Chains A and B, each alone.
Chain A
Amino acid sequence: MSKTSREDFEALVRRSGASLTEAQIDVIYQGWGFVEPMLERIRAHGRERAAEPAHVFRPDIYVPDVDVPDVQVPDVDVRGQK
């Protein structure tokens, strides 16, 4: 049993841009009953704000030949505390 009403589900389908018949939407609505708990699982965790996605952006992979200069390690941490 889905928590999303049939009307709200149809709005989701229409927003996707796919042209489905009412009968096709009825069929997919049955499957949504299995998908909705999955969404609750991935949403349900009280994550830290800084918890990042598994995919990370790495600018260096686009310029692999760039030289890395010698870096002097400052006597402060990144938050500016001695």
Chain B
Amino acid sequence: MMDTPTIAEAASLIAARQLSPVELTQACLDRIAALNDTLSAFIVVTPERALEQARAAEARVMKGEPLGKLDGIPIAHKDIYQTRGIATTAHSKLLQGWIPEEDATTVRSLAAAGTVMLGKLATHEFAFGGPAFDLPWPPARNPWNPDHFTAGSSSGTGAAVAAGLILGGTGSDTGGSIRGPAAMCGIAGIKPTYGLCPRTGILPLAYSLDHAGPMAWTVEDCALLLQNMAGFDPADPASSSRPVPDFSARLGQSVQGLRIGVPRHWHETDSPVADAVQQGIDAALAIWQAQGAEIVEVVLPSLFEYQAANFVILTSEAWALHEPFMRTRFNDYGELLRDRMIFGGLFSSADYVQALRRRRELCQITAAATRDVDVLVTAGVRAEAPRIDNMPKWAGLADPGFANPFNITGWPAMCVCSGFGTGGLPVAIQIAAKPFQEPTLFQVADAFEKATPHRTRRPSLSRG
């Protein structure tokens, strides 16, 4: 089986006519055929359409008219991204059999860049309830050990990228749903600034917290995908009309002179992390310091504060969206989704407004406390992935994660692999930048990633 190249590597080989998009696509389809029964990463595979798109890409390349670096690159979409003529289920019985008539804006823009779509990827139900075993499709499993969780909700994308079933894919992030699976599956994933990527045609979870973004094997690949996902969309009320910068512009540059903030109390006190995670943070700080960055300790509100505001806003907005169905088809939802989402139906209108007032305060405090730093570095997750059959029902409520601060503030944040735990599964750090500073975020993440050996190691089953 062909080793899976990164998007950047494949783009160079395709441009040099040393790699055929059709052969690359077929290799991914072969890998899906071999591994999807184990990983359950895909809900739907679309091989005929994929090969047709790959042949079109190959024809463009051979004519010397490629559409760009993504022409002929195999990807797939989280199954909350609407795809015209292809079922979009949100991994839920409620949408089983629904075939949209329109593509999501980002599906359309990635297709226009020449990507080859291989199908639709597993998610937690409506991007919220999982890992669930009472849905029409099983949950995705971690390629590093299929007995273990992928995190969610962009679980299929995390598993598929890590196993080399695709070179990149899409995710969404309302409370960590890109960064969690990126961290636990050992890949890279970015939640961009709120409003940078259009959400039109992506099934919403919570309007004021939903972000669309890419997931891939490397930071560089995320930058390439984001370049073709970002941009103003008048159909998305939150879409930013700012010009889209070159996200790859600072890749490979030293971080000399940058100031990197570390809210140590988050991973030491608020949510203490495993040794492997701490070692990843320490290694990252040493790498950046050696390159000339200044490390600065930062004190921010506790993770519990961000979690509380995020949870009340998320479930309130989700309840408003799902209320008619939660009232009439409660038991058609999976247990995990319905037992989390119903809390939004128990809050008062004052609770929701208080959470929004707290959100403004948290944004202001975070901005003031980070005035003198360029980026923040935190843990990506507390520890490596737990067993998928041993997930405490209320785990997400009991322990605040590291993702919520950047859903609340809308800041861009990404997780990158920072090593492996004692169980052999990956762990990650998270890097966050100020709004619309994605080029700086990619610069810092890329500098760390390129200084470590973690991108040379793939899950053993993907080499089979």
Contact = CB atoms under 8 A, between A and B. Distances in A.
Contacts of B361: 45, 47, 51
A31 B208 contact: no
Contact of A27 (B304, B308, B339): B339
A55 B316 CA distance: 14
B323 interface: yes
Contacts of B360: 51-54
A56 to B, nearest CB: 9
B362 to A, nearest CB: 9
B270 interface: no
Interface in B295-321: 304-305, 307-309, 311-312, 319
B346 A13 contact: yes
Contacts of B394: 30-31, 34
Interface in A43-61: 43, 45, 47, 51-55, 61
B201 interface: no
A1 interface: no
Contact of B354 (A28, A30, A35, A43): A43
Given A18-B345, A53-B357, A53-B360, A28 B312 contact: no
Nearest to A16: B345
B326 interface: yes
B309 A42 contact: yes
Contacts, number: 95
B342 A41 contact: no
Contacts of A20: 330, 342
B330 A32 contact: no
Given A16-B346, A55-B208, A28 B308 contact: no
Contacts of B346: 12-13, 15-16, 32
B397 interface: yes
Nearest to A12: B346
A41 B357 contact: no
Interface string B359-383: 1110100000000000000000000
A31 B355 contact: no
A13 B342 contact: yes
Contacts of A15: 346
Contacts of B358: 41-42, 45
A70 to B, nearest CB: 25
B327 interface: yes
A53 B358 CA distance: 7
B98 interface: no
B139 to A, nearest CB: 20
A42 B358 CA distance: 6
A51 B357 contact: yes
Contact of A19 (B327, B340, B359): B327
17 contacts: A15-B346, A17-B326, A18-B327, A28-B339, A28-B342, A32-B343, A34-B398, A35-B397, A37-B304, A38-B304, A38-B311, A41-B358, A42-B351, A47-B357, A51-B360, A53-B356, A54-B359
Given A19-B327, A31-B397, A39-B312, 6 more contacts: A18-B330, A20-B330, A35-B311, A47-B357, A52-B357, A54-B208
